[in-house]
Amino acid sequence: MIDWFNNKKGGIDMKKFEEQLTKFYITNDKLKMEISLKDLVFLFENCPNNMDYNGNFPGCKIKRGKRQEFGEYVVRMLLDDAPNERDTIRIGEPFDDIFEEIMESCEDFCQYPSEDGED
């Protein structure tokens, strides 16, 4: 679902995207992503790789009362170096992939360099 709404604090127009477990808000100068700790735990516990030794789901569960600690760990990991050869942090990887797609798809909102090297 996508909605426009006015922010009560400053009357700023925002566009709100709600897709499954995440919410995105776009203003004139910010993009915000929101996911509840409950939904983050749900994603973890329903991850395709989270099986027990017999192949049953879920294998690992987050202990009761430990959601915030789990969330803090996830954030630290997102801000940590990516575990591959890319020179980025983990959270930067999906952005790099998206940006590459944008550059290759010649979107109208991008200004591309001319072939003769002049802008």
Question: What does the domain layout of the chain look like in residue ranges?
Answer: 1-34, 36-107
The pLDDT tens digits of the residues spanning 12-70 come to 577 888 777 889 999 889 999 999 999 999 999 988 899 888 888 788 999 999 999 99
Residues whose CB falls within 8 Å of the CB of residue 66, separated by 6 or more in sequence, listed in order: none
pLDDT at residue 72 in the model:
97
CA distance 91 to 21: 18
CA distance 49 to 58: 9
> Taking 60 as the threshold, does the pLDDT of residue 9 lie above it?
no
pTM of the model: 0.71
> Taking 80 as the threshold, does the pLDDT of residue 3 lie above it?
no
Question: Between these two residues, 9 and 16, which has the higher pLDDT value?
Answer: 16
